[in-house]
Amino acid sequence: MSNGFRHHMFICSHERSPEAGRECCAAKESLELIKAIKSAAKTEGIPNIRVQKAGCLGKCEKGISCVVYPEGTWYTLTGEENIPDLLEHLRTGQVAEHLRMQGGIE
């Protein structure tokens, strides 16, 4: 893989004001979740992966939005209960089917 990582996970941390009239992932506590995933991945010592916060990924109503490369798998995250499945994806490439973003990602 060209970026040198086996898996590269991006999670939206975009924040909007309440008046913006559109949902945002930060309001669903995505920043806290990103920190928890990073910390768990570090504790497990999973090599050659990166977990990174991203700006708006354009799927705001389906967030917390997350995409994992190289597979290009989109997830809707709900909280720390997702961490074991996400770590499994980072470790083995196994997709967590029940977390897949629903309704298409186009």
The answer to whether residue 77 forms part of the interface with ligand FES (CB under 6 A) is no
- The amino acid that residue 80 corresponds to is E
Helix (H, G, I), strand (E, B) or coil at 59: coil
The answer to whether residue 65 forms part of the interface with ligand FES (CB under 6 A) is yes
The answer to whether residue 8 forms part of the interface with ligand FES (CB under 6 A) is no
Given the complex with ligand FES, which of 8 and 28 has the nearer CB atom? 28
89 φψ region: left (φ > 0), alpha (ψ -120 to 50), beta (else): alpha
The answer to whether residue 87 forms part of the interface with ligand FES (CB under 6 A) is no
Given the rule CB under 6 A, which of 2-10, 60-68, 69-77, 92-100 is the region that contacts ligand FES? 60-68
Bridge partners of 76? 65
Q: How far is the CB of 45 from ligand FES (least distance, A)?
A: 29
Taking residue 29's Cβ as centre, other Cβ atoms within 10 Å add up to 15
CB-CB contact of 73 with 89 (8 Å): yes
Angle at CA 85, nearest 5°, toward 84 and 89? 115
Q: Report 28-57 residues binding ligand FES (CB under 6 A).
A: 56-57
Binding site for ligand FES (CB under 6 A): 12, 14, 24-25, 56-60, 63, 65
